[in-house]
Chains A and B, each alone.
Chain A
């Protein structure tokens, strides 16, 4: 006991190192970006310290509204598809043998870690006239004059799905694989039809988890950069691409920072919602 008391007072020092690192290299850059968002643009340097709200005012223009709307629609659609497909995958995988489960976990983890760039490149090849689906369809004489299927909305969405799939499944996996199967078996024993069993018993068990996965993916897809630029056309570019364009290609850091701040505020709202959902979930589990 004495050893524990002796070390007690020094315990907080250990927490200070990670705290300092995170504050310096994560919080400070975020704070500095907030400051830059009210600076004046200066083509000679990056920016000039000032306090102007012009950068924020620019957001309230039809152009940015339509970009925002497009970002939301794309992120929402992607998150919906991925959550649905991912949920069924996890549901079925969790009943497979241990060996197959390990195969899936490694496959999903690999995808989770694999570069957006590499995934986009693989899809680009898949949709290309020279080596992918168009060539296969032509070979099967199903398509007379094949051409590449990118850039297109569909190709980009395929990219979203492939990118987000691992996140959704790995998020849902713990809960789904540890679910109380006795409930489903009881309902089955009572003669509930499979479709009804799924809608009334299985699905409600994961309502909160599914919503959490959806929001996480939504936030993630708002920030996707490589998929729209590599697989989509200019008509598919989202807010992230526009921020990169303003900040890097057009050297307007303050405008980029202001747009990023607006996006951050939105993310914070969604994150708060997610935390609240988590708490709900814990209350339900208890």
Chain B
């Protein structure tokens, strides 16, 4: 009994460590005073209003979300094709594509960022939002690849065979049979890449940090050169969107299962 209590205390302490900083930022963002202060003396949404009406923040929000949307489409498409190829036939080619897709995750971001920036400088797209978008889309392919492969692993081959025998073309089988089954995994992948891209700092800063200001870049620059509570509003808005999307995803994908937790019946 005491051990169970100690375990709970430990878990709550960890949760508190992870959550309290954000609670304070939320408090700061609601304080109407010009200076950063906690606890707030009164509550006001003025800083949130300033964030969404200020031109600079609007541009940063637009940059971040437009880059994230296209990067997520790209990463998910590449991952879908790679996972499909491996599921269809386990050849050295499909296996090496899969392994290559896992590699960016293992390389420290500073190295990816530096590589991307010299590459885009040579291509002539250094400083362009397209360069950042493509790099995000390709370098964040790992998680979608892992998630969509998990989708394929639950796909029953007999259903696909049945579709083929019934005379469906490979394209029809893919769009009518396979895609609907793995759709939840594809949507989850899209959401996760979009979130990662919106939050990423180092790669976007190396490729187009001077010309395309994204939300993390704007926050980072503002912290360096003195900050106002708008920053707290931006940070908390950011965290809220991230958590919101994940909660939404959790309604149509079993996240506990997806991240390898035990199925309900396994639990005592």
Contact = CB atoms under 8 A, between A and B. Distances in A.
Interface of A: 3-4, 7-8, 10-12, 14-15, 17-19, 21-23, 25-30, 32-33, 36, 46, 85, 88-89, 92-94, 96-98, 101-102, 105-107, 109-111, 113-126, 128, 130-132, 135, 161-162, 165, 170, 173-175, 177-178, 181, 194, 219-220, 222-223, 225-226, 230, 240, 243-244, 247-248, 253, 256-257, 260, 263-264, 267, 271, 274
Contacts of B215: 115
A22 B100 contact: yes
Interface in B215-265: 215-216, 219-220, 223, 231-232, 235, 238-239, 242-243, 246-247, 250, 255-256, 259-262, 264
A115 B79 contact: no
A32 B122 contact: yes
Contacts of A131: 24, 27-28, 36-39
Interface of B: 3, 7-8, 10-11, 14-15, 17-22, 24-25, 27-28, 35-39, 74, 78-79, 81-82, 84-86, 88-89, 91, 93-94, 96-97, 100-101, 103-104, 106-112, 114-119, 121-122, 134-135, 138-139, 141, 161, 164-165, 167, 170, 192, 195-196, 198-202, 206, 215-216, 219-220, 223, 231-232, 235, 238-239, 242-243, 246-247, 250, 255-256, 259-262, 264, 266-268
A142 B93 CA distance: 64
Contacts of B109: 223, 225
A14 B88 contact: yes
A15 B82 contact: yes
Contacts of A125: 21, 24-25, 28, 36, 38, 232
A17 B238 contact: no
Given A114-B239, A263-B108, A106 B246 contact: yes
A130 B38 contact: yes
Contact of B243 (A106, A165, A177): A106
A69 B34 CA distance: 42
Interface of chain A, main secondary structure: helix
Q: Which 7 A-B pairs have the closest CB atoms?
A: A174-B260, A223-B108, A131-B38, A115-B199, A29-B119, A122-B21, A3-B164
Nearest to A96: B11
Nearest to A221: B108
A98 B38 CA distance: 35
A29 B256 contact: no
A122 B36 contact: no
A11 B247 CA distance: 37
Contacts of B94: 11-12, 15
Given A33-B118, A46-B121, A124 B223 contact: yes
Contact of B256 (A19, A28, A101, A110): A101
A186 to B, nearest CB: 15
Contacts of B247: 106
A26 B206 contact: no
A5 B81 CA distance: 20
Nearest to A274: B106
A192 to B, nearest CB: 14
A14 B260 contact: no
Contacts of A25: 116, 119, 134-135, 138-139
Given A3-B165, A264-B111, A165 B18 contact: yes
